[in-house]
Each structure stands twice: as structure tokens, then as C-alpha cells.
Copies of this chain bind each other. A is one copy, B any other.
């Protein structure tokens, strides 16, 4: 008897975030607070929305060139240090597609991919899809800070290591890599001929820190980014890959095969957004998230049953539950008892069973209310 499905999709499953949300939906609690979901609660950036409407009204609705509309390719790399030409950019249907294209284009069966853990589930699922092996390097905690121990990376490198997945500001911890760490990582990439996949989707969500990309220190890097998180536009599916021209050219046919092109009207909308002054409204948006970060940190750090590390970026916080080992069970009970959704840490790697991720995305009064209920639950 033949099996219907291919081996490469066996073992692929919907992630825990989806699972806990489905569960939350089923209960239909009136006073539910979503402390889990991975995008800002604000409406889409107004200029982006207006740009999309303009594109539709002008009937910009047919296939774009496979690599994306030239003006968007150009503008997204305009101020980059190394990869600043149109041919360094490929427009994708969101960062998800970008990550998939990069991993599928580089990883052969048996190749090893170093992933800094805790990590967003799609990285290792892409590696699985390709028959590669994910090698996890957990972040360490010291002095109430997350940090990456470069020695641990070096220990895990073998002749089969093809790729290092890097994400700073980091989902789910809010960790931001410092310059020295990125320099050292880039040196490793250069010396060992390993490529860094740098997921920079949270680069605007950064508090009192400077953002560095590995691109500043090495050419062995492929950057992925998009408009989803910074402009509240997760449903528009616009992202991009930035890399050496020959890398873009090699990835292009696979993008053509899977997508043909990213949604055309939203490419024009993104170009419109970046062409005009978007930085002031973005700063205002990020300033709000800094206040939310401070609020949630201050409230939760008063609870002795959890260990809280102040996030330096993103809109996530990764908490350690001092009295729980099974964060799935914890999350389910928290949902049932206090109507709060959080993501179990296990979604980010098996070492993180006693952690949960919260997303501080809701308005401040809701954050306060959620922290209150959370305190009642764990105390």
C-alpha cells in the first residue's frame, strides 16, 4: 500500500500558538485578553492602506515582475551598507516565504543548520522540510540578561554546518545582540564559509539600543525583512530577501515556482509608504511600545513567582515560571481560569518548558488588567 503523503511533510504540524488560539476561540470568553498574538494591535499604517487603495484604483492588479516591482526593490535597499542595489533585493509574499526560499535554496539533506534557541518554529520546520538537521544553541541568562555565548556556537560547528539562523531583535525573548556578538558571529561565518540568515523583521522595535545587522561585518549573510510588524500589515504578505546579486538570481526561479510574484497592489503600497516620510509615524508607534514594555516589565517584575528579563527589543517578553515545568499545561489553565492567552515556551524549543511568551500589544489598561489576573493566578 502506497502512502499518500510525502515524507517531507510528515512531522510538520500547526504550531502551539495556533493551538492555544484555536482553544481560546472555542471558549468564546467575553473578557479574553490576548497576550499571545504576534502582531501589533493597532490598525494598519494609514499611508500603507491609502497606497494600497490607490494601487487598486489604478488597476495595478496584474502579475508584477517575479523579483518584484523595480521601484520597491530599489527603495528597500537604499540605505543599506553593503547590499544597496535593486538587484540585491527580491520581493516575497512575507517573511515566511523569504525564510522558506533561503533555507530551501541552501540546505541539502544532511546539512546542519545552527538555530539560536528559543526560536520561532518556522526555522526548524523549514530545515526539516529540506531533510537538514537543526542544531540548537540556547541563549544563556546571566545578570538578568539573555546573551549568546559565541563559544557555544563554535562548539556546534561541523563540516556539515551550512547556515546559522540569527534573529535580533529576537522573538521570543526580546534580546538584542550587541555589536561585539555580531562581529564575532560574522567572523565565524567568514572563516568557516557559513551563511548567516539574518531575520530583521523586528529591527524597528528596539529600545535604548542601536540596531546592527551582520551585513555590516560580513558578506556571508542573507537578510529577510518585511512590512508586517512595523506597519501592522501582517495580512498584506509583503517581505523581502536582501543578499548578493548572484544569491538573489539563484533564489528567483524558486520564488517564481512557488508564488510567481508577491501581491502586486501591496508592492506599490509599500513603495508609496517608503517613498514618503514614514519615519515620524513609525517613531510614534515604537515609542508607544516602549511605554508598554516598561509597564509590563514593572508590573510583572513585582511577581515573585516568575523570573522576568527586560526586553531590549520586539514586543515580546519571555518569562520563566519558577513553579511550573510544563508551560502547555500552565497556558491552558491560565486560559481557563483567567481568560488570558499566552504562548507556551515549548513552542520555541524543548529546553524552554518552564517559560511562556507574552506579547505586550494590547492598550495599557488591558495590559494592567492582564498582569493583575496573571498575578492572581500564579500567587
Contacts and interface: CB of A to CB of B under 8 A. Distances in A.
Interface of A: 1-2, 4-9, 12-15, 18, 39, 43-44, 49, 52-53, 56-57, 59-64, 66, 93-94, 96-97, 100, 104-108, 111, 122, 125-126, 129-130, 162, 193, 195, 232-237, 247, 250-254, 256-266
A234 B62 contact: yes
- Point out which of A12, A53, A234, A257 has the most chain B C-beta atoms below 10 A from its C-beta: A257
Closest 7 CB pairs of A and B: A235-B264, A12-B253, A44-B61, A43-B59, A63-B234, A96-B260, A61-B235
Given A94-B259, A247-B4, A104 B61 contact: no
B62 A232 contact: yes
B12 A62 contact: no
B49 A253 contact: no
A258 B13 contact: no
A14 B261 contact: no
Contacts of A108: 6-8
Contact of A235 (B60, B100, B193, B251): B60
- State the oligomeric state as a number of copies: 2
A6 B57 CA distance: 41
Nearest to A11: B253
Nearest to A265: B235
13 contacts: A6-B105, A9-B250, A12-B254, A12-B257, A44-B56, A61-B233, A63-B235, A96-B256, A97-B258, A97-B259, A234-B260, A235-B263, A236-B265
A262 B115 CA distance: 27
A263 B266 contact: yes
A314 B30 CA distance: 51
B62 A2 contact: no
A235 B14 contact: no
A236 B263 contact: yes
B104 A250 contact: no
A252 B15 CA distance: 11
B261 A235 contact: yes
Contact of A96 (B100, B233, B257): B257
A96 B8 contact: no
Contacts of A234: 61-63, 260
A250 B5 contact: yes
Contacts of A126: 257
Nearest to A162: B2
Contacts of A122: 257
A122 B66 CA distance: 14
B62 A56 contact: no
Given A93-B93, A236-B263, A129 B14 contact: no
